[in-house]
Structure 1
Amino acid sequence: MFPEGPAPDPAGSRGEHRIRSFHARRGRITPAQAAAIARHWDRWGVELDGSPLDLAALFGVPEPRVVVEIGFGMGDATAQMAAADPSTGILAVDVHTPGQGNLLALADRMGLANLRIGNGDAIVLLRDMLPPASLSGLRVYFPDPWPKTRHHKRRLIQPEFLALVTPLLRPGAVLHCATDWEPYAEQMLQVLTAAPGLANLHDGFAPRPDFRPMTKFERQGLAKGHVVRDLLFERVRPAF
């Protein structure tokens, strides 16, 4: 579809695992989004193909402060956070082609030198491409809640996911989750609280932080009476 753009399956067989961070969805793309991909993918795009990633080279600064965001939707909140904190590199991961195009257009319009857009399975990135203690944060905002009981095993925030993620976080790095699905919020809190190497920065759920912009999706959830929950957990130094 886009010869110079994001690949349909950059990791190939590397993506064959039980944890899934996404459902592949190309979606209907507008001409403006397609144009942004054609023009800007080479500058901001990163294929999550399993090859080790040099974050210093990727962001063009030595010892960069890097936060990974899993699932950015249309990218409006991601762009706002990147603009508000230019000293932090944001590697935002999604497979939604219209969202990729929209975020590329925003990156170009706003001149976001600290943003990169990862295409593919975030689990491949976390499992195969990053060295230990390389991240200053991880953001998972409004992941698929998989509301049916038989599908709960498909939820991203699980003990095996945290066992994969925690070693990648530097001491003091923050894992920030948000959801508007109350049962999933309760499960997140339970799983995160039990995870070795993570400490809750609040007593239970966190107040909504000012740095996380309100998204259209979040406003729609609030209009339906949903309660949005934030969870902020810090990577603590292992005890010796």
Structure 2
Amino acid sequence: MNQTVKSFVRREGQVTRGQRRAIEELRRFIIPSVDQKVIEFTRYFGEKQVIVEIGFGMGKATYQIAHDNPDKGYLGIEVYTAGVGKLLLAIEEHALENIYIIQDDVAVVMPSMIPDASLAGIHCFYPDPWPKKRHHKRRLLQPAFIHQIVQKLQKDGYLYIVTDWEEYAHEIMQALSKEELLYNVYDGYATPQEWRPVTRFHEKANDAGRSSWEMFFRRY
């Protein structure tokens, strides 16, 4: 993936007083990325299987899945401060101990900080579709990036992607189907996984009359 092309536009957004307080007081849940050292997962998660969520937004699905699966560890990667603060508030409210956060560019974090063959799963729910054709180069889920993150999966680890843009879904599906390290668990697009909560992005897609397209692949 071309690191000179960002798949996001860095902006602060509206960060509430509570979110700022959470970021200041709950920093133990934030893994620093300044030196980009490979993470020792046992330091944070013990012997739990680890699942990464790419771009967790405001973290609704992240904390709900982690709450429902305390036997697993979850690492959320997000660039936006408001989303980081919101997820930290949820961690505090629900007394969760199995979620950590990295606030940085996933295209930098995944190759430098995540060990190869270490993840039980990767979630990417409603990535920015960059709908204008001239912006398609900014789309995150391109073949080179997919190949890069798949190498972080353990054998039989899963990659679960959901988008509400049909054209982007077809593009992602084509890339996934050509990736030699992956196989499709379904015959085409996946059925919705019962354990994935309905998020604001899902609701917005429904309100706009768009379907959600789901892809669920595993590593050989």
Q: TM-score range by the shorter chain?
A: over 0.9
Distance in 2 of aligned mates of 1:54 and 1:48: 13
Structure 1: runs of 5+ lacking an equivalent: 1-15
Give the 3-state SS of the residue equivalent to 1:47 in structure 2: coil
Report if the CA contact (8 A) 1:133-1:167 is conserved: yes
Residue of structure 2 in register with 1:8 after alignment: none
1:142 aligns with 2:126: yes
Share of identical aligned residues, percent?
Answer: 37
Q: How many correspondences in the alignment?
A: 218
Residues 168-200 of structure 1, C-alpha deviation per residue, up to 9 Å, x if partnerless?
110110000000011101111111001111001
**TM score, norm. by length of structure 2:** 0.95
Residue of structure 2 in register with 1:22 after alignment: 8
RMSD between aligned residues: 1.3
1:46 aligns with 2:23: no
- Counterpart of 1:117, as a letter, is I
Residue of structure 2 in register with 1:166 after alignment: 150
Of 197, 215, 235, the match for 2:199: 215
Report if the CA contact (8 A) 1:140-1:176 is conserved: yes
Residues 130-189 of structure 1, C-alpha deviation per residue, up to 9 Å, x if partnerless?
221111111111111011122212111111002211211101100000000111011111
**TM score, norm. by length of structure 1:** 0.87
Distance in 2 of aligned mates of 1:75 and 1:55: 21
Q: CA deviation at 1:19?
A: 5.8
Aligned pair in 2 of structure 1 residues 107, 91: CA closer, same or farther (>3 Å)? same
- Counterpart of 2:61, as a letter, is A
Structure 2: runs of 5+ lacking an equivalent: none
Q: CA deviation at 1:48?
A: 2.5
Report if the CA contact (8 A) 2:8-2:138 is conserved: no
- Counterpart of 1:152, as a letter, is H
- Counterpart of 2:25, as a letter, is R
Of 68, 90, 112, the match for 2:52: 68
Q: CA deviation at 1:21?
A: 4.6
Q: CA deviation at 1:18?
A: 3.9
1:93 aligns with 2:77: yes
